[in-house]
Structure 1
């Protein structure tokens, strides 16, 4: 039985200003649909995840009717609009737009109506872009705060203002009966439940960074103070009491903390042109900064900012640069949290440690690079010995190698014969064998299988004689993953 499906879409900007996606879904449910697809994407983007699922469902012949609030909810790109129109007509899918009714694509009038709406949607998109650009230009001219504000702030009367509204209860200093209070009839803004504001938390992070001078230690302190479950009143469902929920997320990464500390808004300035263009964040030096638009609401003084910049440029976040990588980087994984491990150096020693050990992972002990290499060599030589002793069944690759060896032997046998006019046909046979050999040699083969089957692979001393470049080549083919935890290598996963 074919389905009646609905589609709802809003752009990210539309979703920011309203709840129109929920309204579209409610209307579609009222008009009776079997399944609803939804996206929060630009209508000009044809690669929307659920929109592509809808297209596949139509192409599978499982759709009877497609419903949407309006044509521009389906798409705003003319080429994609004409494609969908032809697709609906090809698979005999009825189109029902709630703002106008059924669109009969089998008639000239229905097709003309669809074409006009496709072109109108493209026109509306261009006018929206022009209108947004004019609004942005006016906001810059009038020094109006940008719509998105950094943590610790809110926007009042188009100006940045520190958010001093109590919002969370810290672990340290919370009342002993906080769990009981969260179920009582306390108002949402009760100081028995909420005592710290975002502005106060923000200032605490700034002071902690100036004191500790390391982003990892700041995040550890904030995690210890607030934990992962910050108590906040939630609105109860009908017939249920309110329960404590996670009420605030600060920063989960050191790089996020760094970007926040360097935001000019925290110094009392307003900035524009700071959001991604073509998928890339512009550097702070490229931002359009309007100074001293809200000096009375600054979180950081100019002197503090200079000190923060000195800390960041001298030591903050240097690990993970290209010059601090190794050929095992990306293969070493923390067993406890599953995160990638970073290569670090201390004096003449190099070691790997969990990249999240400075924040939330408690696997803090490192593993020396020499210990990891020893474990790899032992694992490879052991595996090579297992294959040599026949504990592993021969693979299709080894059969191909045997076939090549057999062809080479036939060619050698022919070359050992004494030639004469009567043996002229042997030359043709030899030429054919060379063609077969070339074909077999050009076939893609499993290089790792060839390495592990080499007689020297069982010799543990052979691996210790390899140079760094040679190890990089061999380990790249043989080693898939290295698991470490609490200062130990617990597993080496090979590709063979």
Structure 2
């Protein structure tokens, strides 16, 4: 019988989907238990094998360093790491403390012999190659979908039709409405209330708390963050979005599928959501949430509140100087900045800009027609002159794009006019800032302020506000 008193098990899968749908992690853990390990001896992660910040992985290495481990049992080599560099770092730890790496598939690595060392490096290189190949295939797949304007999956209100989506005309539950009609109602209710949680409560009161079906597109989201993502999805207005969670790569394109709301409604949704960045009331107490940046490392400042003798003091701190466990410290600014100081800096910047606009900007402005609109109008005119039925579909697509461009342009003009009007009110009404509420400050700041940079010099705090206009 094996002596596993000083052994640990480790396994991982790369994604949550592999865990929930493929049950890969469950299978690995079960195999480690069958080998003879207890649940307390098994560590695991749901993360890429290329990452050296895996929680379970680092727990295993910490136990190795504390001389508590003689063996690490893994299903196979790539479940331990997929990084050649990461393996070299871990290998040095295992060699230093005399720990053996054992595989459930059979065999182990004797890192004290040239053969074992060579084999381990070959396995690390092969694992890294598979990782790179998977990544390459994923990137090529993204590019192909983007070039063809294909849609990965439908959201509530739509259903997949090949590589496209169409409004879901299936009856919703036992109502007299379709899924698409209920989705439109969700949007209208949110625009009317302007609050995510309130809209969800009204919808669940009307249609029930339990979701319909097993797929996400079959019902509206019941939690605030998911409902927020659904509302902001351009698919609702006939567009398609790629790299939605990467602001640098994010691309929104006009699609050929029919939307269930207008572009104007979608822009209105985005505008409302921008005034409540986190969608939760508790964040309204910080009107500059997401806007304050550290001058040294560029991190977004976090708010901290403390109570002293019944009085609440609000401060901002740099997360780079106060990292979470297992994260590296990347900033030396450990100053707690006064939130009121940052708010005052933003107000002063707006006051100065308001006075300048009130004095110099004419009330009526003449807007030039964007070049893109003129070019589309000319292209449509020339195609219609050809009087060729083969071009009808092309004309229709260009007309839809023209309509979208015009609406977007009009919304930009309205947004600029709204900013100007706010600034005129600030400049013309005495005592405006003395009576404004925190909720109103939140809306004003997120409409007009780009960022507030917090810096410290000779123990003196300073704030520099940069406006969007």
TM-score of the pair, normalised by structure 2? 0.52
Please give the alpha-carbon distance, in whole angstroms, between the structure 2 residues aligned to 1:265 and 1:309.
Answer: 13
CA 1:315–1:139 in 2, change beyond 3 Å: closer, same or farther? closer
Q: Helix, strand or coil: the match of 2:90?
A: helix
**1:410-466 per-position Cα deviation (integer Å, ceiling 9, x unaligned):** xxxxxxxxxxxxxxxxxxxxxxxxxxxxxxxxxxxxx9xxxxxxxxxxxxxxxxxxx
Following TM superposition, by how much is the alpha carbon of 1:46 offset from its aligned partner in structure 2, in angstroms?
0.1
Q: Which residue does 2:185 correspond to in 1? A: 204
CA 1:195–1:90 in 2, change beyond 3 Å: closer, same or farther? farther
Q: Which residue does 1:220 correspond to in 2? A: 198
Residue 272 (structure 1) aligned with residue 253 (structure 2): no
Q: Is the 8 A contact 2:78 2:124 kept in 1?
A: yes
Instruction: Report which of the two structures shows the higher radius of gyration computed on alpha carbons.
Output: 1
Residue 42 (structure 1) aligned with residue 48 (structure 2): yes
Q: Is the 8 A contact 2:287 2:438 kept in 1?
A: no
Following TM superposition, by how much is the alpha carbon of 1:291 offset from its aligned partner in structure 2, in angstroms?
2.0
Q: Helix, strand or coil: the match of 1:63?
A: coil
Residue 291 (structure 1) aligned with residue 222 (structure 2): no
Relative contact order higher in (CA < 8 Å, ≥ 6 apart):
2
Please give the alpha-carbon distance, in whole angstroms, between the structure 2 residues aligned to 1:50 and 1:163.
Answer: 43
Q: Is the 8 A contact 1:269 1:290 kept in 2?
A: yes
Please give the alpha-carbon distance, in whole angstroms, between the structure 1 residues aligned to 2:287 and 2:50.
Answer: 37
Residue 144 (structure 1) aligned with residue 150 (structure 2): yes
TM-score of the pair, normalised by structure 1? 0.50
Residue 160 (structure 1) aligned with residue 134 (structure 2): no
CA 1:144–1:223 in 2, change beyond 3 Å: closer, same or farther? same
Q: Is the 8 A contact 1:271 1:290 kept in 2?
A: no
**1:233-273 per-position Cα deviation (integer Å, ceiling 9, x unaligned):** 999xxxxxxxxxxx9743426xx766543422112232323
Following TM superposition, by how much is the alpha carbon of 1:159 offset from its aligned partner in structure 2, in angstroms?
2.8
* Unmatched 5+ stretches in structure 1: 169-190, 236-246, 357-446, 448-468, 473-496
Q: Helix, strand or coil: the match of 2:261?
A: coil
Q: Helix, strand or coil: the match of 2:70?
A: strand
Q: Helix, strand or coil: the match of 2:275?
A: coil
CA 1:161–1:52 in 2, change beyond 3 Å: closer, same or farther? farther
**1:14-57 per-position Cα deviation (integer Å, ceiling 9, x unaligned):** 62763322222222222222321111111111011111111101
> Which stretch shifts more, 69-78 or 96-105?
96-105
Please give the alpha-carbon distance, in whole angstroms, between the structure 2 residues aligned to 1:133 and 1:88.
Answer: 35
Q: Which residue does 1:6 correspond to in 2? A: 9
Following TM superposition, by how much is the alpha carbon of 1:223 offset from its aligned partner in structure 2, in angstroms?
0.6
Q: Is the 8 A contact 1:274 1:282 kept in 2?
A: no
CA 1:166–1:78 in 2, change beyond 3 Å: closer, same or farther? farther
Q: Helix, strand or coil: the match of 2:10?
A: strand
Q: Is the 8 A contact 2:231 2:269 kept in 1?
A: no
Q: Which residue does 2:124 correspond to in 1? A: 118
Q: State the aligned residue count.
A: 303
Residue 349 (structure 1) aligned with residue 313 (structure 2): no
Please give the alpha-carbon distance, in whole angstroms, between the structure 2 residues aligned to 1:120 and 1:144.
Answer: 33
Q: CA RMSD in A?
A: 4.7
Residue 263 (structure 1) aligned with residue 233 (structure 2): yes
Q: Which residue does 1:24 correspond to in 2? A: 28
Following TM superposition, by how much is the alpha carbon of 1:90 offset from its aligned partner in structure 2, in angstroms?
2.2
* Unmatched 5+ stretches in structure 2: 277-283, 293-302, 316-338, 348-430, 443-458, 463-469
Following TM superposition, by how much is the alpha carbon of 1:209 offset from its aligned partner in structure 2, in angstroms?
3.5
